[in-house]
Structure 1
Amino acid sequence: MAVAGWLIDKSALVRIGESKAVAKWVERIQSGLVHMSSITRLEVAYSARSAVDLEKSFSTPPLTHLRIEPLSPAIEERAWEVIQQLAKRGQHRAPSIPDLLIAATAERCGLVLLHVDKDFELIAKFTKQRLERLS
């Protein structure tokens, strides 16, 4: 099955340079196949040490190559459905709210979620969405 693309989580984004497959990921990023949710964009901005650092991060690769996937009512509703499913099993406090929204974004946009975060694996038990753990 052909992959439409990937939605990268911050957990993978910060480790991409250490990946065994860094060349493959750089090529995919430069080809526009890797997207980022608006939530991840905010997480990256929050991690900036200063306004200068923030500006530099978002004006240089790889961030300049990542298409932003904004939230939508459908994405928010899917995150709500998933947290309800998790609550039925007492697991609703395991994934963070950003993780729920990022997973829902990947699912609704038809993208494989690229991550290094076990909470996405818990979410995918319910959603059956495609994940790829960065190695």
Structure 2
Amino acid sequence: MALSYIVDTSVVKRLGRSEIRMVIQPLATAGEVGRPSICDLEVGYSARNAEEWDRLVEALGVFEPVDTTAAHVRRGLQVQRLLAERSQRGRKIPDLLVAAAAEELDLTVLHYDLDFDLIASVTGQRCQWVVPPGTVD
């Protein structure tokens, strides 16, 4: 099956929660979920040692890889500027890159992060909370 979603690190780091797994597992099994390459770096950053790094990064293999490109960086800069016009600066750089990849590939961003709603307010792209905000923190 073709990709329909791109998952953000805000979802990946909550995969230990059954509520999140219930949503993600069937989509990932069907091959509908991609992960941006920036997500690998974010997940690897949290590892406390090499063994944990190996385990965390290997677990990402359930999602189809989506490489970050120079076009995503350019679009991220454009969106950052649009947000600044609205005094909504400060969106995280990885979020801008994830959103740009999703927009280019016409994928829905599956997230647990308010930043994506703000980004979508200027891009018009699709984004979806994996579960309602405030339900798994």
The answer, yes or no, to whether TM exceeds 0.5 is yes
Give, in whole Å, the separation in 2 of the partners of 1:4 and 1:32: 6
CA shift at 1:47, angstroms? 0.8
Alignment of 1:73-88 (within 5 A): 73-88=70-85
Shift >4 Å, 4+ stretches: none
Q: Deviations 1:60-105 (Å, cap 9, x if unpaired)? A: 4xx2211111111221111111011111122222x11111111111
Q: Deviations 1:28-72 (Å, cap 9, x if unpaired)? A: 112221111011110001011111011112334xx2211111111
Alignment of 1:113 onto 2:109? yes
CA shift at 1:107, angstroms? 0.9
Alignment of 1:97 onto 2:97? no
Residue identity over aligned pairs, in percent, reads 35
Residue type at the aligned position of 1:41: D
Contact 1:4–1:110 (Cα < 8 Å) also in 2: no
SS at structure 2 position matched to 1:68: strand
Question: Structure 1: which 5+ residue stretches go unaligned?
Answer: none
Matched residues, number: 130
Q: Alpha carbon RMSD of aligned pairs, Å?
A: 1.7
Residue type at the aligned position of 1:74: A
CA shift at 1:19, angstroms? 4.8
